[in-house]
Amino acid sequence: MPEIRVTPLGAGQDVGRSCILVSIAGKNVMLDCGMHMGFSDDRRFPDFSYITRSGRLTDFLDCVIISHFHLDHCGALPYFSEMVGYDGPIYMTQPTQAICPILLEDYRKIAVDKKGEANFFTSQMIKDCMKKVVAVHLHQTVQVDDELEIKAYYAGHVLGAAMFQIKVGSESVVYTGDYNMTPDRHLGAAWIDKCRPNLLITESTYATTIRDSKRCRERDFLKKVLIPVFALGRAQELCILLETFWERMDLKAPIYFSTGLTEKANHYYKLFIPWTNQKIRKTFVQRNMFEFKHIKAFDRAFADSPGPMVVFATPGMLHAGQSLQIFRKWAGNEKNMVIMPGYCVQGTVGHKILSGQRKLEMEGRQVLEVKMQVEYMSFSAHADAKGIMQLVGQAEPENVLLVHGEAKKMEFLKQKIEQEFRVSCYMPANGETVTLPTSPSIPVGVSLGLLKREMAQGLLPDAKKPRLLHGTLIMKDSNFRLVSSEQALKELGLAEHQLRFTCRVHLHDTRKEQETAVRVYSHLKSVLKDHCVQHLPDGSVTVESILIQAAAHSEDPGTKVLLVSWTYQDEELGSYLTSLLKKGLPQAS
Amino acid sequence: MLFGEVGPLGGAAWTAPAVRSGWIQGLRTLAQHPSALRFLAACGAVDTIFSLQGDSSLFVASAAGQLLVHILDLAMRGPARGRCSPQACDWPACAQKIVCHIEDSLCSIATPQVTQALNVLTTVFGHCRGLWTQGLWVRLSPLVARLLEKDPVPASHSLVDLLLSVARSSVPSSDRGLWETLAQTLSHLSPTQAGPLALGILKLQDCPQALRTQAFGILLQPLACVLEAAAQAPGPPGLLGGAAGDPMTADTLLCSKSACVGLLCCALTHLGLLQPLPQRPSPWPQAPLLGAAVTVLRLCSGSVAPTSDVGGRLCAILVGCGRVQRAALDFLGALSQGAGPQESVTQVFSVLLEYLMSPESSSMVLKKAFQATLRWLLSSPKTPGCCDLDPRTQLFLRELLPVLQKRLCSPCWEVRDSGLEFLTQMTRHCGGQAGFRQALLASEVPELTKQLLQDPESYVRASAVTATGQLSSWALLAAPASPERPGAQQKSLLVELLHVLCADSEGFPRRAVMQVFTEWLRDGHADVAEDPERFVARVLQAASRDPDWEVRAQGLELALVFLGQLLGPRGSHCPCAVALPETAPPGTLAQALPEAAPPGTLAQALQVLCRVQLFEFAFRALFDCDRPVAQKSCDLLLFLRAKAAPCGSPQEAGDSPNVASVEATLQRWQAGEQGQPLGYLEPGAVMAVLRSIDLEGLRDTLAESSDHVEKSPQSLLQDMLAAVGVLGENEADCY
């Protein structure tokens, strides 16, 4: 029985470390290869030893697909390809391919700098890993091999994020990665066509949330000071937001962004402008939305300048580098404020202050008293419950599987999906395998001649009703064609042989053979009113293709032998007649 | 009850795999002592673990299997440590129970159960060392052998793992029957399944020759079939000494594309792994293997058209197959470690050239082709009596360089980068060989490499920096300089690289420049040797401002090399003892110092260090927000202090106003205010400051990763307290 198997190694009832193994029609694909920001030991990467016990990964996996550049989706990639030893192809969109190495490099630097890790992947490994990447365009069908094909769809969320359809023959799986069904200031909404996959694997971060409009959040956003962000992604959304607000309100306080990053971001957003939303694309000719009037490059010395300012600094969780430096400087003043625009994992200063800690033990046994205001404001770009339902409605899958969310919230969404769409919904934990039986449909081409013959019989085809069609199935070069028997004989250069079944029926009848045949004829004529029953001049009787001949019994003159013979097409009628004749003929009146 | 349905299995929390996983972990922590084990066994824990072996979560199932092994091992070590009888009937009840369970599972008709048993046994023989393991094998080996009678063999991968695990343990010394089982398994499994077992057998240190021959035959079969299928006419005896290829292998190769690709890739990889091992089969069929690798590559490129039916079908399957191309190129590269007949080597070079030239080659295939080419070039024999390349290699190089030139202009950054990496390595190893120099200088490759310093892709710029740096070290960068301006081109490279260091927006090229500069300084590059002091001053000035901590750290590395040259290497204590002009390598600072007489004195060296503003750089780095930079600076200053200490303090200026101002500035730097410069420093003041800073203490603080703060019990407690009732909303709002 063919089946689709899905095993999350990460992101199963969990957020972070996305890594999902899919086995479809004998092909094995890994969806995302992320890391977990909450761990700094070997738990940060998925346990790849579970992928296969049968030798090398490169021989087992047909390809790896990365949905977008966030580290929880690609952070383990260099480790997987250069240290664990996967040597096959890696697919991602072009923006992801361009931005991924920057974030991986950033991550490596932090791991080596802050944690002092020696056995971590190197810059060279990141580069070697990126060389294995094959870039895909939106809506382009990419043939991984003769049987496996993939196709990318726009996912919103961050620049270059994509959903992927994986197809082998008639079986398909769609993996959404992270997506957003509502457009924001710089990106459009996710979209997928009605591809009716066997399985839709969707993220479910906001499985129970229906989010408020963005407007009220924007109104709160006024007197901020330090905004720790990651280099690319939400940072650009926030920059556009502030730029627009400053313009509208004619504000004078300077906004700074860590040196080099604005340039880098601009570069990529300009390069991949088709990936942004319509408004940005439209205005691009007159004004590049990523060239900011109010946002200037930040210099270390500015941190000591008096007066108000807003500073975007990396990294986003206040765990190292410039954002932490500025935070340490400004934490003591209650007039200052830090806004955390996203999630912070345990162990980071960001996590500590969000959980209400006000006295932080810093390195060197210093205690830092946090007097500044601490705010949390979500600018994460995931689909909410409504959006997820919308996507399921759009794709019309046969089954749904939830990943990248918390178990409790998933449970709620699972029920909702099952009720509304009448499809099975699964939510495996990490390491659990979901197996879905599939009935593969095998496409068969029907010859024009055969179709014309069917039409000639006056039966117009009806798309909604299955129709029985007789013909000869020719299987050649993995193609299936149904043609008329005559055409098949001609094509294959074969002679026709007719296969007939024969059966002897003994009748007690003392009359001559000819008379027995007449009696048989009359009996059948009376019983089989809808069939064409004939008495031929040679004395034999026919019913359709069935031939009945009467002969004398060699030993018993009081018994006649009826030889009944029929072709395989009339097998049913043949057996019926035999059983009818076996019952004997009615007495002559 | 602690276990079973009324125990944890009945609880609602049990449905969460994380809970089951945690339960196993807890049990494992508990089961460390025989009495704990007896308690657990009496409470029915073992039955629960049996049931968890079939858990829906892979992680839980695997952990349960490992826990069983742990319990079995603990039970067998028991009170009479290490002296448990190999006779199974004497074993403790708990161990008996586990072994019976394994026996039942091995006899099961359900493959998952057989797999579980085999996996448990694999761990047993891989990790447990007691004599009892031999007894266990005696008891279980008939059941394992019986698996081979089934068709298909169930759980073949796990069976292979188990047999190899047993073969690596102490069992073979007592049970020669194991070799027979291995031989049977080899012949029962399909060619694809048998490959890993064959490789495992050949890696064993000690095993019968007949088995090794059988195993090697299995690895060679697919390639033998390829050679046979592609042969235009009956050639010399092939891989298997002229014996016909195994029909089963041939069937696998031809039945479908995926089976063919899978089998060939496995065979190529396994043979490639075997090649460098000392225990690889001998004689090693180097020439036929080279022939096979070349044939596979030619079938993939479509450049051979076999006349036989089988050959034609194989060609149709393999043509354009990137996976096989990559595996075959890796294998070909591995084969470079052995010699080959002249004819084969010519074929290797020709197929490599074909791949490097082909427009069909993907960037990954090209990368592997470059790597294989490099390996062959570096292993090619040198002309007797001289260290130059042999004529055949030279001829190949002349054909190769125009191809490299073309690849350096590829629209794919991956290809340009792989080309540059190849060039760097080639130059590093062959830069001094006349044949290579001639061929390179006659080509446009050096000029193109220099142009790639302006490449839009930062990875390529970084590789171009490394390549030009290497070319320049061997004076290979420019056409012979004009008599009027000797070395003009070379000088401009230094300026150009300095420009990259100051202006490139990406870290990779700047880091590459620092590495080149450090190498230049260490090796006494001509341009550096001209005025090392000025060179170091310029580089340190640029590096100190760099936003990338790795560039700053590399700056300290360069400073350390400079210090070493000035004061003698690490380990020798006093610079006064080092006679600089004699011991320093040619072209280093020592040669450039003669006018600063007398050479070798600490005061003079310190003057130089002050002039190049090394101290300003090092002190700033000491308080750098990035730990590795601070650590490196700390090491450097400790080295300097150790060097200087035994010589006494020249012009000690412990309480001069200069020292006080330096210390005040450093304190401000430490507090994070790094705006103010240090200004010009007197050597005496530097030494005084160096002695006053607690460098050892700082080194110890820096040695602790930042995790030690986060992981301190107090910090964790604060986290836990803070987490109660907070953060509900924020938990999953990530990234």
Judged by CB atoms closer than 8 Å, whether chains meet at B417 and A361 is answered as no
Residue B8 has pLDDT above 70, yes or no: no
Distance from CA of A142 to the nearest CA of B (A): 15
Which value, in Å, is the radius of gyration of the alpha carbons in chain B? 34
Split at pLDDT 50, 70, 90, the class of A394 is very high
pLDDT surpassing 60 at residue B406: yes
Q: Which residue of B has its CA nearest to A324?
A: B625
Question: What gap in Å lies between CA A450 and CA A471, rounded to an integer?
Answer: 8
Question: In the 8-state DSSP scheme, what is residue A279?
Answer: H
> Best residue in A180, A363, A388 to probe B by mutation, most B CBs within 10 Å?
A363
Dig out the tokens for A239 from the structure.
Answer: 């920059």
Q: Residue ranges of the alpha helices (H) in B474-599? A: 488-503, 507-523, 526-530, 532-544, 549-567, 580-583, 589-592
- Tell me what pLDDT residue B203 has: 95
CB–CB contact B363 A58 (8 Å): no
Please give the residue that has the higher pLDDT: either A13 or A266.
A13
Q: For residue range B427-477, list pLDDT tens digits in order.
A: 999 999 999 999 999 999 999 999 999 999 999 999 999 999 999 999 998
Whether residue B298 has pLDDT greater than 60: yes
Question: With a CB-CB cutoff of 8 Å, which residues 173-202 of chain B face chain A?
Answer: 195-196
Q: Is the pLDDT of residue B218 over 80?
A: yes
Interatomic CA distance for residues A157 and A177, integer angstroms: 9
Active site residues per annotation of A: 203
Of B226, B195, B219, residue with least CA distance to B300: B226
Reduced to 3 states (helix: H, G, I; strand: E, B; else coil), residue A221 is coil
Tell me the percentage of chain B whose pLDDT exceeds 70: 80
Question: Is pLDDT above 70 for A558?
Answer: yes
Residues A468-500 pLDDT 10s: 788 899 988 778 899 998 889 988 898 888 888
**Across A225-239, B434-448, B636-650, least confident range:** B636-650
DSSP B115: H
Contacts of B733 in chain A (CB under 8 A): 205, 342-343, 378, 380
Residue A199 has pLDDT above 90, yes or no: yes
How many angstroms separate the CA atoms of A531 and B582, rounded? 120
CB within 8 Å: A321 and B628? no
H or E segment to which residue B427 belongs: helix B413-430
Give me the residue label for tokens 């990936």. A275
What is the structure's pLDDT at A262?
58
Q: In this model, does residue B242 exceed pLDDT 70?
A: no
Sign of the torsion formed by the C-alpha atoms of B269, B275, B277 and B283? positive
Tell me whether residues A131 and B266 touch, CB distance under 8 A: no
- pLDDT above 70 for B597: no
All residues at 6 or more sequence positions from A11 whose CB lies less than 8 Å from its CB, including other chains: A17, A18, A19, A20, A32, A34, A72, A203, A403, A404, A430
Closest partner CB to A54 (pick from B157, B322, B705): B157
pLDDT (average), residues B649-672: 64
pLDDT at A309: 87
Look at residue A247 in the predicted model and tell me its pLDDT: 78
pLDDT score, position A263 = 65
- B504: chain A residues, CB-CB within 8 Å: none
Q: For residue B279, what pLDDT is reported? A: 92
pLDDT greater than 90 at residue A225: no
pLDDT classification of A216: cutoffs 50, 70, 90: very low
- Classify residue B541 as exposed, middle or buried by CB count within 10 Å of its CB (0-12, 13-18, 19+): middle
Rounded to the nearest integer, the mean pLDDT of chain B is: 84
C-alpha span between B637 and B692 (Å, rounded): 12
Average pLDDT over residues A333-362: 81
CA distance B608 to B604: 6
- Residues of chain B neighbouring A54 (CB-CB closer than 8 A): 157, 196
Q: Which chain A residues are Cβ-neighbours of B17 within 8 angstroms? A: 429-432
Instruction: Identify which of B196, B508, B712 has the shortest CB distance to residue A55.
Output: B196
Q: How many CB pairs under 8 A join A and B?
A: 171
For residue A561, give the 3-state DSSP assignment. Answer: strand
| DSSP, res B454 | G
Confidence (pLDDT) at A556: 84
Cβ–Cβ gap B735/A114 under 8 Å: no
Residue type, A264: K
Q: Provide the residue type at A170 as one letter.
A: S
Strand partners, A172: A167
B651 has a chain A CB within 8 A of its CB: no
Residue-averaged pLDDT of chain A: 85
- Strands A3-10 and A19-24, sheet pairing: antiparallel
Distance between CA atoms of A280 and A249, rounded to whole angstroms?
21
Give this complex's ipTM. Answer: 0.86
Most confident of the ranges A466-470, B28-32, B639-643: B28-32
For B49-74, how does the pLDDT look when each residue is reduced to its tens digit (9 = 90+)?
Answer: 999 999 999 999 999 999 999 999 99
Chain B residues 585-644 within an 8 A CB cutoff of chain A = 625-628
In B353-382, the residues whose Cβ lies within 8 Å of chain A are 363-364, 367
| Neighbour-count burial of A377, counting CB atoms closer than 10 A to its CB (0-12 exposed, 13-18 middle, 19+ buried) | middle
CB contacts, 8 Å: B316 with chain A: none
Q: How confident is the model at residue A103 (pLDDT cuts 50, 70, 90)?
A: confident
Distance from CA of A419 to the nearest CA of B (A): 23
Test A15 with B732 for CB contact under 8 angstroms. Answer: yes
pLDDT at A470: 84
**pLDDT band per the 50, 70, 90 thresholds, residue B238:** low
A375 neighbourhood in chain B, CB within 8 Å: none
pLDDT, average across residues A17-37: 94
Answer whether B592's CB lies under 8 Å from B533's CB: yes
Cβ distance of A259 and B547 shorter than 8 Å: yes
Reported confidence tier of residue B583, pLDDT bands at 50, 70, 90: very low
CA gap A70, A179 in Å, rounded? 12
Instruction: Using alpha carbons, select from A217, A287, A302, A301 the residue that is nearest to residue A254.
Output: A302
Check if B694 contacts A (Cβ < 8 Å): no
A322-339 mean pLDDT: 86
Contacts of B718 in chain A (CB under 8 A): 352, 357
Q: Is B58's CB within 8 Å of A346's CB?
A: no
The yes-or-no verdict on residue B497 having pLDDT over 70 is yes
Q: Is residue B227 predicted with pLDDT exceeding 50?
A: yes
**Integer CA distances (angstroms), B453 to B421, B456, B528, B543, in order:** 14, 9, 20, 19
A205 vs B265, B547, B732: nearest CB: B732
A430: which chain B residues are within 8 Å (Cβ-Cβ)?
17, 57, 59
Closest by Cβ to A15, choosing from B266, B710, B734: B734
* Chain B (438-497) residues lying within 8 Å, Cβ to Cβ, of chain A: 459
E strands in A469-543: 472-476, 479-483, 500-508, 533-535, 541-543
User: Comparing A100-114, A505-519, B485-499, B508-522, which segment has the lowest mean pLDDT?
Assistant: B485-499
CA distance A378 to A344: 11
Answer whether B12 touches A (CB < 8 Å).
Answer: no
Q: Which of A27, A56, A96 to mutate to test the interface with B (most CBs of B within 10 A)?
A: A56
Which residues of chain B have a CB within 8 Å of the CB of A114?
627, 705-706
Question: Is the peptide bond prior to B152 cis by the omega test (within 30 degrees of 0)?
Answer: yes
